[in-house]
Structure 1
């Protein structure tokens, strides 16, 4: 028998929302959502992230354009831009270093900051959904990441990882089937053979899902969709951008 409680049910109901009503998100709701995000685990308590809340319609429109003309950025009441932030650490540590070498620009610290952002954002997403709000993550802000960074005034050692639309859903969010548990959960060591077999099972599920979703126009299995994705050179500018922002120098 599968375990179930209110928290598990909330988590399992998640679906990305891409249509929002014009009902506003209150400042109290925003504060509660971000505070919940702040309680996520953080490596060594560095809390290496910042969040830009965008409500100005003109600015949201510009961001929507830079993210690939995703109109729900314009439609949602609040658009959050989640940023990895090592600038704050560098600045507040300076008075205490006494000339010692500082490694805020190391690759490890980039990983730490990136993980911190993701953990905090997911906490915030669950908090929003607990308030009957809907969310969708927007990785498209990395399409034109330099322009987004300039638009938001991000200093060196800060980069926008993804956006998040928040608002009241207009309609029901759809859910895509996920990989079988056995394809994700390994025991004691990685089991490549089991993983491959479970993906074959998942391919059948996703093929049927795509067939139903597209009215028979597309029945591509997950592995074929992933192959197409890997074959596309996506955001190859990221390495140069991160180096230019002062990351991964060590």
Structure 2
């Protein structure tokens, strides 16, 4: 193996940060690394908003189910799917409009995720830690107002960035044979692989939660599928110009 692969395999979500600030040079390096990510047809349909103001971070924490580490991290990055900028660029040469297509919505969302993951890897290579915050979609309209997001821009997720003040163990992942398929999709490995993973994740959560949480992957996924989440997103996206067809 090599150092990059070893770094990737050591990823942990960090939720406690030292007060040390992140310098402008480091922030630019992280964002420039994000920009180097693959993008569909060079669209680059994303923007990132770096929030360091404590009051804004406090508001964002409140909008995201009171996750305190949003307020405590030195920099909170809000990753946005952005079709506003490409609309502006196109308008310089001809009258245009953003199509109400599911495909361009997917392009913008995927572009955002690819860029953010590059940023996460860059931050970790600099000795920092990150945690993704999907909770900003709990109140996307409030987040949009706070950050003055225009039409055709929506917040996909946030990311806390800073120097770790904890050393958590890495969460185990599914066995590779349940994820890697060869030539065709097959569920032949699911019974053994998921049963094994249920045991590994149960041991991990018992250790991590000090014995107070007893769960498995199957239990967590059953709970996830039982409850609908963020049904407000469809109406919100329509208001932001993503009226999908």
TM-score bucket (shorter structure): over 0.9
Matched-pair contact (CA < 8 Å) for 2:65–2:138? yes
Aligned to 2:66: 69
In the TM superposition, residue 175 of structure 1 has moved relative to its aligned partner by: 1.3
Q: Which runs of 5+ in 1 are unaligned?
A: none
Q: Which runs of 5+ in 2 are unaligned?
A: none
In the TM superposition, residue 198 of structure 1 has moved relative to its aligned partner by: 1.3
Matched-pair contact (CA < 8 Å) for 2:76–2:159? yes
The one of 33, 37, 46 equivalent to 1:36 is 33
Tell me which stretches of 4 or more aligned residues in structure 1 moved more than 4 Å. none
Aligned to 1:8: 5
Aligned to 1:206: 201
Counterpart-to-counterpart distance in 2, 1:181 and 1:110: 30
Counterpart-to-counterpart distance in 2, 1:24 and 1:215: 31
Matched-pair contact (CA < 8 Å) for 1:53–1:79? yes
Matched-pair contact (CA < 8 Å) for 2:174–2:197? yes
The one of 102, 125, 128 equivalent to 1:130 is 125
Counterpart-to-counterpart distance in 1, 2:243 and 2:154: 13
Counterpart-to-counterpart distance in 2, 1:94 and 1:202: 51
1:228 aligns with 2:223: yes
Give the SS at the match of 1:193: coil
The more displaced of 125-134 and 202-211 is: 202-211
Matched-pair contact (CA < 8 Å) for 2:83–2:98? no
Counterpart-to-counterpart distance in 2, 1:51 and 1:214: 33
After superposition, give the CA deviation of every residue in 1:113-141 in whole Å (9 maximum; x if it has no partner): 00000000000000000000111111110
Task: Map 1:20-99 onto structure 2 (within 5 A).
Answer: 20-98=17-95
Counterpart-to-counterpart distance in 2, 1:174 and 1:230: 27
TM-score (norm 1): 0.94
Q: CA RMSD in A?
A: 1.4
Task: Map 1:51-200 onto structure 2 (within 5 A).
Answer: 51-98=48-95, 102-200=97-195
Give the SS at the match of 2:148: coil
Aligned to 1:18: 15
Matched-pair contact (CA < 8 Å) for 1:105–1:157? no
Give the SS at the match of 2:188: helix
Aligned to 1:240: 235
